[in-house]
Chain A
């Protein structure tokens, strides 16, 4: 079964500090994409970062970076220098490369930023 597990329903971090959101997934495929989506209170789902499974180098986007461990099927998101605008629900997700249309989502982690 294809699943995505986010074991932290909620997390809090002090402004300017670093936080890591964890994610594990289960698939028998070898070629896929992994994503972190952000859903702020305004509701729109925003793509934060994407990782191709065939790339060993971890993706980074400004203050956002991932730790991709393919053998362990782990894909954590690190947010550095946390800002108030980072407060949101974060979803880990994946889809199969050039095959399935659907994105498989985790249940999400609600991140609170403490001023």
Chain B
């Protein structure tokens, strides 16, 4: 069964540095998402992406965050200048369509900011 894959599985970065988290969505999916889960807390929506543009974003997704689909397969989340509170598990998800079809999640990338 096709899967959403995320790399790396664990990223350790110094505070203030830029970090890029990578995701390869399922190939025939058109909608892409990023969520994060701070340790011990609920999974929170960050952003959704469709047709090469952001379709919805949460208040967490401020100017430090950006997303990109640089080619036909990858979907990236960039954090420009990381803060300690960015430490979390970041999940990528994809779906065939909006709402009607379920979102398929990747394994997540654990981001640790030192």
Closest to B97 in A: A98
Interface range on chain A: under 10, 10 to 19, 20 to 34, or 35 or more?
20 to 34
| Contacting residues, chain A, for B31 (C-beta < 8 A) | 101
Count of B residues near A, CB < 8 Å? 27
| Contacting residues, chain B, for A37 (C-beta < 8 A) | 105
Q: Is the interface of B mostly helix, strand, loop or mixed?
A: strand
Report which of B3, B45, B102, B105 forms a contact with A102, defined as CB distance below 8 A: B45
| Contacting residues, chain B, for A43 (C-beta < 8 A) | 89, 107-108
Report which of B45, B89, B99 forms a contact with A33, defined as CB distance below 8 A: B99
Q: How far is the CA of A52 from the CA of B43 in the complex (A)?
A: 21
Interface positions, chain B 24-55, Cβ under 8 Å from A, are: 31, 33, 35, 41-45, 48, 50, 55
Closest to A44 in B: B107
Indicate if A95 sits at the interface (CB-CB under 8 A).
Answer: yes
CB of B20 to closest CB in A, whole Å: 20
| Contacting residues, chain B, for A47 (C-beta < 8 A) | 102, 104
Given A35-B102, A100-B99, A102-B45, 10 new contacts (CB under 8 A): A43-B107, A44-B3, A44-B106, A45-B91, A45-B93, A97-B100, A99-B98, A101-B33, A103-B45, A108-B42
List 17 interface pairs A-B (beta carbons < 8 Å), by A numbering: A4-B42, A43-B107, A43-B108, A44-B107, A45-B93, A47-B102, A50-B102, A91-B43, A96-B99, A98-B98, A98-B99, A98-B100, A101-B50, A101-B99, A102-B33, A102-B56, A103-B45
